[in-house]
Structure 1
Amino acid sequence: MSKAAKPATGKNAGGNETADGGKTQRGIQSVEVGGRVLLALAQARGPLALSDLAAAAQIAPGQAHAYLVSLSRLGLIKRDELSGRYEPGPLSLRLGLLHLENQPAFRAAVPRAAALAEAIGLSVAICIAGPQGPTIVRYEHAGFPLHVNLHVGTVMSLPATSTGRVFCAYLPREAVEAMWANQSGGASSGKLAAMMPADERAAFEATLAAIRTRELETSVDAPSPGISSLSAPVLDTDGRLSLALTVIGSTGAIDVAADGAIARALLAAAHDIGAELAAAPSLLATSAS
């Protein structure tokens, strides 16, 4: 048997019994090592040099190079010609999008985001929680072009954007702190207690409480001058944040009033998505019976 097709080995390889009396299935060791390389790249959340990628995957650089050649041929990894660093390839991105498209909240949000953008004539972004922060995974363009670089993959600032503050208001504290640390590039511990002076922190906590009360947050001319936004959470049946809908437009062309027509349309869309998520389990139970 060739080295590339070597079965996974170990105490439980080949169908040996496990501690709970079950049996493990035989696997291909080289595939699992390749998976470690991909996992190391995913956990790094940024391009890596070969030596750093090998160290993270706990394999020798020479062995890592051979895996990277094969993974690059498959499109799972690609190498930047200028920096020489490795990053996720087109197949990895397609698999990630496929996973996302199979999530109930995303499937329910896409048609409503498109309908909302058409109805109000403003751009609408669907954002989910990523390792570095709220990340745009769908962007419905409408109205006049905006002088701001927003696209699928854009990560929103936690403190400086309406979307970021919605995530701060609804995500568990440890998740917010992990994102904060990633956005600060490791320069900060990410602990909310240490990220700002006490008076600013108290004001920020009051802002988050207000967001939870009205289920809406706004930004005017921030973080980009001339651009304003409104963002609303989509909550599941347990009140947990599934994603956020954000309406974005030029300041002056977008009404950011919490009781305005755009806010009402945004909240209605967010509540409709949440209602569909709540109805999904009962619909599945009905169809199964």
Structure 2
Amino acid sequence: MPPQRAGIQSVEVGFSLLQVLSTSPGPLMLRDLAAAAGMSAAKAHRYLVSFQRLGLVAQDSGTTRYDLGPAALKLGLAALSRLDSVKLARQLMPALMAQTGQTLALAVWGNQGPTLVHWEESPQAVTVNLRLGDVMPLLSSATGLCFTAFSHPRLTAGAKSPGRLALLVKDELARNQKLARKDVPASMAELTALLDEVRLRGMARAVNTLLPGVAGFCAPVFDADGHLALGMVALGSLATFDPEWDGTVARPLAAAARQLSSDLGFKQG
């Protein structure tokens, strides 16, 4: 444990008021704000006067309710502008690998589709022939299905003005039809049903469709605006990989993705 350093207790106590406001669905009356922060109304009022002077808190003159002020907004936006989602995700990888024992990767949306930008291979895992910079197929990989299911609605195949994702999906569907593949979607109806399941499960899974004998999961990570920031991937040989939705790989992967989304400012609806 790092050594305890001396601080200013009153700052820490007063910060509890800001924490309550940050998690409240709307402005609060003084008595409710104080009660939620675990202090008397008189004590809370003294802190709120100072916070108002600093712009961290604002009070509506009509309702007398308190809410976060413009200075709090500036601090939040500054923090979000400095966030590096991939850097934060990489910090979670060692613990996640210890839990799953599987190879892990991170993917972001690139010019040609979901692209692997970080790779950590488990020493116990069977080597998978993938490399950094590889673009994952949209319909036969867990990564591709994750990005297809959770990307911004305007990018979906049914949009009036198809974006890059919709065009890539259309091309891949056509290839699957030409190859007469039965293990991946070959029609929009099949794809829609599969994407509905991905959204219902909260993550994507692929078994034997990307590579023979290989399974994988991809869990979405969302930013503060609710947009897909990256995908957290776990994959490995079916000899050691647990492909169950509630198994030893899926559960910790989903938990890590939820934690990272929260760190990026995403609030679960």
Using the size of structure 1 for normalisation, the TM-score is: 0.53
Give the match's secondary structure for 1:278: coil
1:178 to 164, 177, 187: 164
Once the two structures are TM-superposed, the CA of residue 179 in structure 1 deviates from its matched residue by 4.2
| Further displaced range: 159-168 or 135-144 | 135-144
Query: C-alpha distance in 2, partners of 1:138/1:203?
Result: 31
* Cα distance in 2 for residues equivalent to 1:206 and 1:275: 28
Q: Name 2:113's counterpart in structure 1.
A: 133
Q: Is the 8 A contact 1:159 1:165 kept in 2?
A: yes
Q: Which residue of 1 aligns with 2:149?
A: 169
Partner amino acid, structure 2, of 1:135: T
- Picking from 129, 140, 153, the partner of 1:149 is 129
Aligned length, in residue pairs: 173
2:7 paired residue number: none
1:172 Cα deviation from its structure 2 partner: 2.9
Query: How far, CA to CA, are the matches of 1:211 and 1:183 in structure 2?
Result: 16
- Choose the corresponding residue for 1:248, options 235, 242, 245: 235
Partner of 2:244: 257
Task: Give yes or no for the alignment of 1:225 onto 2:225.
Answer: no
The verdict on how the C-alpha distance between 1:183 and 1:150 changes in structure 2, with shifts beyond 3 A counting, is: farther
Q: 1:199 to 1:250 in 2, by over 3 A?
A: closer
Alpha carbon RMSD of aligned pairs, Å? Answer: 2.8
Aligned residue type for 1:149: N
Deviation at 1:107, TM superposition (A): 1.8
Paired residues of 1:233 and 1:243 also in contact (CA < 8 A): yes
Q: Is the contact between residue 131 and residue 179 of structure 1 (CA under 8 Å) also seen in structure 2?
A: no
Q: Does 1:216 align with 2:203?
A: yes
Distance 1:215 1:202 in 2: 20
Q: Deviations over 1:199-252 (max 9, x none)?
A: 831121111122112211111112110111011100123321100001011013
Question: 2:264 aligns to what SS in structure 1?
Answer: helix
Change beyond 3 A, Cα 1:212–1:258: same
Q: 1:104 Cα deviation (Å)?
A: 2.2
Answer whether contact 2:108 2:116 (CA < 8 A) is retained. Answer: yes
Contact 2:83/2:264, CA 8 A, preserved across alignment? no
Give the SS at the match of 1:261.
Answer: coil
CA distance in 2, matches of 1:267, 1:199: 28
Alignment pair present for 1:121 and 2:107: no
1:160 to 127, 134, 140: 140
Q: Flag the structure with more relative contact order, 1 or 2, with Cα contacts below 8 A and sequence separation at least 6.
A: 2
Letter of the aligned partner of 1:246 in structure 2?
A: V
2: distance between equivalents of 1:264 and 1:277?
A: 20
The one-letter code sitting in structure 2 at the alignment partner of 1:163 is: T
1:234 equivalent in alignment to 2:214: no
Q: Secondary structure at the match of 2:265?
A: helix
1:143 shift after superposition: 3.5
What is the CA deviation profile of residues 129-149 of structure 1, one whole-angstrom value per residue up to 9, with x for unaligned ones?
001111110001113353432
Q: Cα deviation per residue 1:83-126 (whole Å; 9 max; x = unaligned)?
A: xxxxxxxxxxxxxxxxxxx7521121011123211321111000
Residue of structure 2 in register with 1:273 after alignment: 260
**Which letter does structure 1 place at the counterpart of 2:105?**
A
SS of the residue 1:126 aligns to:
strand
